[in-house]
Amino acid sequence: MTEIKKKRHPLIRVIFDYIKMHKFAFIFSVVCILFAAFGHIAAPLVLQRVTNALIEAASDNIVNSDVWKEITPDLITLGVAYIISIIAEFSYSQITAIAGQKYMDDLRKHLFNHMEGLPVKFFDTHDKGDIMSIYINDVDTIRQLIIQSMSTILICFCTFLSVFVIMILTSIYMTLVVIFATCVMALVIYKVGGHSSKNFIAQQKMVGRQEGFVEEMMVGLKVIKSFCHEEESKHNFDDINHQLQEVSYSANSYANILMPILGNIGNVLYVSIAILGTVFFYNDIHDPALLQANNNWLAIIVSFLPMVKQFTNATAEIANQINSIALAIGGSSRVFALLDEEKEVDDGYVTLVRAKYDEHGEIVEVENEKDQTIWAWKHPHTADHSITYTLLRGDIRMFDVDFAYTPDKVVLHNISLYAKPGQKVAFVGATGAGKTTITNLLNRFYDIADGKIRYDGININKICKKDLRRSLGMVLQDTNLFTGTIMDNIRYGKLDATDDECIAAAKLANADSFIQRLPHGYNTMLTNDGANLSQGQRQLLSIARAAVNNAPVLILDEATSSIDTRTEAIVTKGMDNLMKGRTVFVIAHRLSTIQNSNVIIVLDHGRIIERGDHDDLIKAKGTYYQLYTGAFELE
């Protein structure tokens, strides 16, 4: 989207986008609406002509056959007009439904695709339930606007305008009365409808807050029950629900009184026009010349009263759409606020490619997977337009890295470290020391404030993020299994992996034995984040998922912290198989799992205070020694 479009009101953006994407459907709908409006305004015109004909026939003693001959064309015209109106209404309702649903399909896909491109920071700082509310509630308000309200407003406006012109041509005096009543209705709409709109927008925000709270309570249900926090949760939900009830009451109370007020104004206007027309008719009936000059007041009254009803009904129906428009304003604002979030910037140009060594020992890129023997970094150079290839080895080095999630709170201070290919680097430190932050920087979930990180000698800022992350395998404390079979979840690490590759990865991760014992083996369906598996089994699947990726660098973020000691031995065996020949970064609270690391780095408040292998740190009798011997524990 261009900057100009971003400056438009969100509701205008919705309408313009819809018309741009479905202009032919929109034009066809408008034409059908015009025909439908023609059917509505044909009735009073024909009724006036028929009434005149009947009055003249009665006064001139014309026989019935002659009367029927005169009014039959008018009645046929009326019937044809109604048929055209019915066909037009059916046509525009169908085409609007089809085009509207297609637009909603595109909008949802655009919304989801955009969300997938947002940085991790966005999801760390926004409530997940509130984001879900955008997909469910806010998008639906746009659907109601596109499919229902826009068509209703267009046909009411056409009817309103057409009837107004005919009324002026029929009787300027009675039209002035209608104009006065319309001004009164407009004032009521402004006062009452304004309050209704404001509260409907507030209602949308409260719905998002409520859904966010419910989602949070569902995720943390075990914690709530463990700490007997049910009553407090109920109380908090009651508070939020009560606020939603109050704002919804205000919105709907204004909305519910608007239509009765407008309806009664319309009724008063109807009666006033009938009285006024009767007065005009009574004054002119004694003067046949004046009566004839005024084109017969009786026929005017008979035709004018239905037009008054149509006019006031169109005005009221337009006013009735204010609520829908208000909801769409609130919903579109939240939808486009998400769409206007800046996507994750990827300015990298170094890519990961399939390669092999040629007969001269040089690395060359290959297209066919069967010809691939190695992975390499493809590095184009703008200066001389040359391309160099660097073997993917898993050599990672950090130089004087500083980082802060917010400008006022620096998390990492002057971090320097290196991990040679095949080495195992462990991070130890209290919660908040900066261990996970370092792994987030390696993945470029966040970018460093100062310093450099090099991967196989290449600045990681130059590497495309997708290729960088594809070269890193991750096993996290939170396993995050997805709805699907076990095979699908393992294949998540490499979408083009064959079944044999997935099974080999499961065996490497020590997961094959428990999978084979399941009723459907690798075809066992997992739902609700793998709730039908134990924590250890879920973690083994997470390891298998990283194994099938076969990345040269592996990040283990407290992968065994939430499982028991017996299960830990099984999981550790799977991880040991996975770590062979790879550069590994390990974050662990259990020091027994990192004793064989090549280097152990002790962090404290974002600074490296100790580094060395297990034996060196024990001899130093510093912080690590105290942690290992139990002099004090990690917090």
- Give the DSSP letter string of 215-280: HHHHHTHHHHHHTT-HHHHHHHHHHHHHHHHHHHHHHHHHHHHHHHHHHHHHHHHHHHHHHHHHHH
Mean pLDDT on 25-35? 85
Pairing, β 583-587 against β 553-557 = parallel
- Predicted TM-score (pTM) of this structure: 0.73
Asked whether the predicted pLDDT for residue 361 surpasses 80, the reply is yes
In CATH, the number for domain 396-629 is: 3.40.50.300
Mean pLDDT on 200-216? 76
Residue 184's pLDDT is 85
Report in angstroms the alpha-carbon separations of 24 from 20, 21, 147, 454, 585.
9, 9, 15, 54, 57
Residue 398's pLDDT is 92
Asked whether the predicted pLDDT for residue 458 surpasses 90, the reply is yes
Mean pLDDT on 211-239? 75
Asked whether the predicted pLDDT for residue 168 surpasses 50, the reply is yes
CA 431 centroid distance within chain = 33
* Element (DSSP H or E) covering residue 81: helix 64-116
Upper half-sphere CA count for residue 493 (Cβ side, 13 Å): 28
CA 96 centroid distance within chain = 23
Residue 435 is given by DSSP the state: H
Residue with tokens 């079944």: 499
Query: What does the domain layout of the chain look like in residue ranges?
Result: 3-339, 351-391, 396-629
Percent of the chain with pLDDT over 90: 6
Asked whether the predicted pLDDT for residue 56 surpasses 70, the reply is no
Residue 629's pLDDT is 81
Spatial distance between the Cα atoms of 610 and 601, rounded to a whole number of angstroms:
6
Asked whether the predicted pLDDT for residue 561 surpasses 90, the reply is no
Spatial distance between the Cα atoms of 585 and 395, rounded to a whole number of angstroms:
12
Asked whether the predicted pLDDT for residue 613 surpasses 80, the reply is yes
Q: In this structure, which CATH number among 1.20.1560.10, 1.10.3720.10, 1.25.40.80, 3.30.70.360 belongs to the domain 3-339?
A: 1.20.1560.10
Asked whether the predicted pLDDT for residue 2 surpasses 60, the reply is no
CA geometry: angle 219, 575, 350, nearest 5 deg: 85
Structural contact between residues 394 and 552, judged by C-beta atoms closer than 8 angstroms:
yes
Mean pLDDT on 87-102? 86
Residue 462's pLDDT is 92
